Amino acid sequence: MNVSVVLFTSDLRLHDQPALRAALEGGRHVVPLFVRDRAVERSGFAVPNRLAFLADCLRDLDAGLRERGGRLIVRSGDVVEEVCGVAAETDADEVHLAADVSAYAHRREEGLRRALEAAGRRLFVHDTVTAAVAPGTVAPAASGHFAVFTPYYRQWSRQPLREPLDAPRAVRVPDGVGSEELPVRSAVTGVSEGLAEGGERAARERLTGWLRAGVAAYEDRHDDLAGDATSRLSPHLHFGALSPVEAVHRARRAGGPGGEAFVRQLAWRDFHRQVLAARPEAASADYRTKHDRWRTERTAGDDIEAWREGRTGYPIVDAAMRQLRHEGWMHNRGRLLTASFLAKTLYVDWRVGARHFLDLLVDGDVANNQLNWQWMAGTGTDTRPNRVLNPVTQGRRHDPDGVYVRRWVPELSGVSGPAVHEPWKLRGLDRAALDYPDPIVELSEGLARFKRARGQE
Ligand code: FAD
């Protein structure tokens, strides 16, 4: 009996799953394996929102495998030891894995390769499982990766994409392979109340619904905070319950300016992945240092706490921070303006903000989170690193009637219209009765501090 192991990581699906399809080739038996990796748990990356969503994904993956005659095998421990152990138990001669970009993923891959080869087994690593266009596929002549999005996107768009693969019809798992119980969402404590449901089924339904009813208006409405008119596919893409290749194909077929604008956003995901693949240290070190002497937990503790709690006195910032806590997700416009507020207006180290986002975001992703934070902090790939978003202007532009603010900041529910963005200017209402804080910083002072720090005066 020929046996392959498929190690599922950020690719928790059956449709368009090249690693699984390759493992099944030639009628092989397959061990579909997920390892609850102790190293990830110890790193602090395994936070309640993502653990709960992961539990949904694993249950759904198991259900899908069972419909095809298989099941998911779950083990906990050191990933290399567990994979080698399962391969030895089942006498598997091949292990299949999706390529990934973080420093940790590189170490995992190397560790697996060494240990498997020493035991006479082969590791196959598959590109275009977790990215539509794999890192390194397009690169400028002078260096290994693109540092500017627009030329990257031009080349990205010209790349031929492989056709999405169907889900396999049958999966035969060797008898007698032991598995732990699948984790359950209800056993995870500290989960955000409004956390979305995970799993491939939910992911595919969302994509289909989005392409039918949402994407057409995406170009015009993607920044409309109250309208919530983006796809909300990010958690599904993060866990790989949805294939990025399939999402691009289907969005292109949907066509129109909305489809193209949406595909462009998907390219941003690949852009950050190719930056991180080339510069793994950018997860924690400035990509392009500006020699900032940031304020930190020690010097700006109260400001940081107010930002985390959504009590800065800037309603649009507070609304977005509260959405993050309540849903484990935040609208992109909210992410941009809250990050600008922390890193630039408060001049706090971007790593403090990135950590808080990673503690809560269900789509929290090293490449997307750290590099978007660096973008907003002006230490990353933004070609205008010193731009500062004004939270009042942003609020008036992207939440003109104040609907988003009132949704998340109930203290301001009695304030109608755009006045909600500047409650300190209210006339005729007892401001003290609002129980809403005064701004923790004057915008002009924050701007002056930032400009001084960046030598812009
Ligand atoms: P849509 O607007 O529907 O976009 C479709 C998909 O394109 C998204 O699901 C996402 O996969 C991708 N995408 C969109 N914008 C970006 C972007 N700027 N960079 C990379 N990919 C993008 N995204 C994450 O997936 N994980 C993160 O941890 C994360 N952290 C962020 C932190 C900051 C400070 C900022 C400014 C952005 C961050 N983003 C992150 C990017 C973006 O905000 C989210 O991907 C998006 O809001 C998810 O919502 P959506 O699925 O409705 O997006």
Atom of ligand 1 nearest to the CA of 330: 47
Atom of ligand 1 nearest to the CA of 364: 28
For residues 46 and 151, give the distance between their C-alpha atoms in angstroms, rounded to a whole number. Answer: 35
Check residue 141 and give its pLDDT: 81
Residue of the CA atom closest to atom 30 of ligand 1: 369
297-453 CATH choice from 3.30.565.10, 3.40.190.10, 1.10.3190.10, 1.10.579.10: 1.10.579.10
Q: Are 73 and 32 in contact (CB under 8 A)?
A: yes
Contact 264 CB / ligand 1 (< 6 Å) = no
- Is there a common fold for 3-128 and 131-162+202-278? no
Is domain 131-162+202-278 annotated with CATH 1.25.40.80?
yes
For residues 338 and 226, give the distance between their C-alpha atoms in angstroms, rounded to a whole number. Answer: 16
- Sequence-distant (6+) residues with CB within 8 A of 383 are 148
Q: Are 83 and 5 in contact (CB under 8 A)?
A: yes
What is the rounded radius of gyration, in angstroms, for the C-alpha atoms of the chain? 23
Question: How crowded is residue 358: how many other Cβ atoms within 10 Å of its Cβ?
Answer: 18
Per-residue pLDDT of the chain (457 residues; tens, 9 = 90+): 899 999 999 999 999 999 999 999 999 999 999 999 998 888 888 999 999 999 999 999 999 999 999 999 999 999 999 999 999 999 999 999 999 998 899 999 999 999 999 999 999 999 989 999 999 999 998 788 999 999 999 999 999 999 999 999 999 999 999 999 999 999 999 999 999 999 999 999 999 999 999 999 999 999 999 999 999 999 999 999 999 999 999 999 988 899 999 999 999 999 999 999 999 999 999 999 999 999 999 999 999 999 999 999 999 999 999 999 999 999 999 999 999 999 999 999 999 999 999 999 999 999 999 999 999 999 999 999 999 999 999 999 999 999 999 999 999 999 988 899 998 888 766 777 888 999 999 999 999 999 999 998 7
Atom of ligand 1 nearest to the CA of 271: 20
What is the layout of strands, in order, in the sheet containing 3-8? 73-77, 29-37, 3-8, 94-98, 122-126
Contact 266 CB / ligand 1 (< 6 Å) = yes
User: What spacing in Å lies between the alpha carbon of 332 and ligand 1's midpoint?
Assistant: 6
Contact 373 CB / ligand 1 (< 6 Å) = yes
Contact 248 CB / ligand 1 (< 6 Å) = no
Contact 13 CB / ligand 1 (< 6 Å) = no
The ranges assigned to domains in the chain are: 3-128, 131-162+202-278, 297-453
Per-position DSSP letters for 23-69, written without gaps between them = HHGGG-EEEEEEEEEHHHHHTT---HHHHHHHHHHHHHHHHHHHHTT
3-128 CATH choice from 3.30.70.60, 3.30.428.10, 1.10.3720.10, 3.40.50.620: 3.40.50.620
